[in-house]
Amino acid sequence: MVISRLIARLQRYEGWFGVAAGLLIMVGLYMGLVTSSPDYYQGEVVRIMYIHVPAAQSAMFAYTVLFGGSIWYLWKRDPIVDNMSHAAAGIGVFFTLIALITGSIWAKPTWNTWWTWDPRLISFTIMLLILVGYLMLRTFLEDKEKEATYGAILAIVGFIDLPIIHFSVEWWRTLHQPLSISTRGVSIASDMLIPLLLMSIGFYLLFTYMLMVRTQMLYLERLLEAKRGRMLSKVHV
């Protein structure tokens, strides 16, 4: 009953997140593509940053949600939390792929290569592999509880990759530029920072919206499957 109440809430409030995300992304895109100035060294190609950076941030946020959800699940064994973690992993794969593809498109005119064995790129690709592995593991197991438990353990172990992704540009000085916003200060012009912030917040809201919709989807799929199974067993017994 608590779960169905939560699903009803998700259904009720998801629209607000969707609309807010859409508005922020539209304004951010306009500012990023039209009003912000080109970078002194990279020129216009810097505009890829307005989609690449928020996608990468959202991917890492998705993994953080997956990590938090996995701990919560192992502690409380709440199936809706498992649905949320499962949903976060799927959306995480999507945002990680977008970040890697846009990063590669950015790398070509900037570094003259589509791919390089840079620590940031490698650690980010490892995150994609962990997320894909998590989703694959969940398809191999028949027992739903085992599926959720093993998935949660894998997600917790894989979380070690997140600090490596974040600090890789500080620990290893390679092609990838260091953090623009850090404890050292902000090394980005305000006409670039504002659209970047708008896009980042927009993407976080979009992720939340997607998480609400996808959690519902997984819950409803399970519900339908369980109810049908129960109905079939009644027929066959």
Is 57 an interacting residue with respect to other proteins (CB under 8 A)? no
Piece in contact with other proteins (CB under 8 A), picked from 117-125, 131-139, 162-170, 213-221? 213-221
Is 228 an interacting residue with respect to other proteins (CB under 8 A)? yes
| Least Cβ distance, residue 183 to other proteins (angstroms) | 29
Rounded alpha-carbon distances, angstroms, from residue 68 to 61, 86, 89, 147, 197: 10, 12, 12, 17, 24
The residue from 43, 77, 171, 187 that contacts other proteins (CB under 8 A) is 43
Give the integer Cα–Cα distance in Å for 66 and 174: 29
Piece in contact with other proteins (CB under 8 A), picked from 36-44, 131-139, 157-165, 169-177? 36-44
| Least Cβ distance, residue 223 to other proteins (angstroms) | 7
The residue from 47, 86, 120, 138 that contacts other proteins (CB under 8 A) is 47
Beta bridge partners of 182: 185
Is 1 an interacting residue with respect to other proteins (CB under 8 A)? yes
Closer to other proteins at the Cβ: 48 or 81? 48
Phi, psi of 182 (to 5 degrees): -150, -170
Question: Residue 20: what residue type?
Answer: A
What residues have CB less than 8 Å from 20, skipping those under 6 apart? 202, 205
Is 9 an interacting residue with respect to other proteins (CB under 8 A)? no
| Least Cβ distance, residue 203 to other proteins (angstroms) | 10
Buried b (16+ CB within 10 A) or exposed e, 35-67: ebeebeeeeeebbbbbbbbbbbbbbbbbbebbb
Give the integer Cα–Cα distance in Å for 174 and 172: 6
Closer to other proteins at the Cβ: 116 or 149? 116
Judged by CB under 8 A, the number of residues near other proteins is 35
Q: In degrees to the nearest 10, what's the CA dihedral of 171, 172, 173, 177? A: -80
Q: Of 127, 95, 125, which Cα lies nearest the Cα of 207?
A: 95
Question: Residue 218: what residue type?
Answer: L
Closer to other proteins at the Cβ: 90 or 154? 90
Looking only at residues 73 through 132 of this chain, which bind other proteins when binding is defined by CB under 8 A? 94, 98, 101-102, 105-106, 108-109
Residues in touch with other proteins (CB under 8 A): 1, 4-5, 8, 33, 38, 42-45, 47-48, 51-52, 55, 94, 98, 101-102, 105-106, 108-109, 210, 213-214, 216-217, 220-221, 223-224, 227-228, 231
